[in-house]
């Protein structure tokens, strides 16, 4: 386990000594982590370990102290929309879709206007998730949970982020859809998008990520490769297994 986060491909995101609070409750206790360019990093841990709070603090949705640098620029303290404009996309666990708008209209709302040569198109979204093409003119609110998750992922991508933070994308999904999400994450990496993946399902997280962090009690308790985590039964037993 390294004392400082090491990003193999050059730091895109670097978080240092991050503390976060909900009211008077101190949730994060000096979190250090990094995500490199074109890298998938898994953030693992049990419920209540601080994973979701960590990504929300990076996104400006929770009050924090310390340092969050993106592309070398300090972004801690900025508003969420300002952070999004810097090139960070965020997919919350709550799958926030616009239920009365169609699939296509939801994707249009995510589109980054006026951008020359965007990385993603509507056709890309429909190719990755053919089910969304079938439901293109359907109101999002009547779709299944799996379809809404696909839509949330794709709408965030339409903003052409350089880093996408995804909170529990496979929660409650059928195994076949989980497999699709795994393919989607690999496609992101292929196109140069970095991913910070908050996930409880160890199988998919270890399959798609290049590095992983484990959180416990608001701190990073492990930092290493998927192979190192597979080989560390003590960390898995103490911090991951139920």
Local mean pLDDT, 10-residue blocks, the chain (242 residues): 44 96 93 96 95 97 97 96 94 86 94 73 89 94 88 91 93 82 89 93 92 97 97 95 78
pLDDT of residue 200: 84
pLDDT of residue 114: 61
pLDDT of residue 5: 45
Q: What is the pLDDT of residues 48-65, one digit of tens each?
A: 999 999 999 999 999 999
> Considering the domain boundaries, does residue 199 fall inside one?
no
> Considering the domain boundaries, does residue 147 fall inside one?
no
> Considering the domain boundaries, does residue 169 fall inside one?
no
Distance CA 157, CA 83 (A): 15
> Considering the domain boundaries, does residue 114 fall inside one?
no
C-alpha distance from residue 117 to each of 37, 112, 113, 151, 160 (Å): 20, 11, 11, 22, 10
> Considering the domain boundaries, does residue 1 fall inside one?
yes
> Considering the domain boundaries, does residue 182 fall inside one?
no
> Considering the domain boundaries, does residue 171 fall inside one?
no
Q: How many C-beta atoms lie closer than 10 Å to residue 143's C-beta?
A: 19
> Considering the domain boundaries, does residue 40 fall inside one?
yes
pLDDT of residue 3: 38
Burial 109-133 (b: 16+ CB within 10 A, else e): ebbeeeeeeebbebebbbebbebbe
Beta 163-167 vs 25-36: how paired, if at all?
Answer: unpaired
Q: What is the CATH number of the domain that holds 16?
A: 3.40.50.300
Domain tally, the chain? 1
pLDDT of residue 1: 40
- pTM for the model: 0.89
Which residue range(s) make up the domain with 78? Answer: 1-87+208-242
Length of the chain: 242
């Amino acid at each position: 386990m390294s004392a400082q986060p090491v990003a193999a491909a050059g730091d895109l995101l670097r978080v240092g000594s991050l503390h976060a609070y909900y009211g008077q409750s101190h949730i994060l206790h000096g979190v250090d982590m990094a995500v490199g360019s074109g890298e998938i990093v898994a953030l693992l841990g049990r419920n209540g370990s601080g994973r979701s709070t960590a990504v929300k603090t990076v996104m400006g949705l929770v009050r924090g102290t310390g340092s969050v640098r993106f592309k070398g620029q300090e972004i801690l303290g900025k508003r969420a929309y300002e952070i999004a404009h810097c090139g960070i996309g965020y997919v919350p666990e709550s799958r926030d879709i616009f239920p009365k708008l169609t699939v296509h209209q939801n994707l249009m709302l995510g589109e980054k206007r006026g951008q020359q040569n965007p990385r993603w198109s509507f056709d890309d979204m429909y190719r990755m998730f053919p089910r969304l093409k079938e439901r293109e003119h359907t109101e999002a609110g009547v779709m299944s949970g799996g379809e809404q998750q696909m839509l949330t992922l794709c709408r965030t991508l339409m903003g052409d982020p350089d880093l996408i933070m995804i909170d529990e994308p496979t929660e409650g999904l059928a195994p076949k859809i989980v497999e699709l999400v795994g393919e989607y994450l690999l496609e992101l990496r292929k196109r140069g998008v970095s991913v910070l993946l908050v996930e409880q399902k160890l199988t998919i997280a270890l399959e798609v990520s290049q590095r992983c962090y484990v959180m416990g009690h608001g701190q990073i308790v492990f930092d290493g490769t998927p192979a190192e985590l597979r080989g560390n039964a003590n960390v898995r037993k103490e911090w991951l297994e139920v």
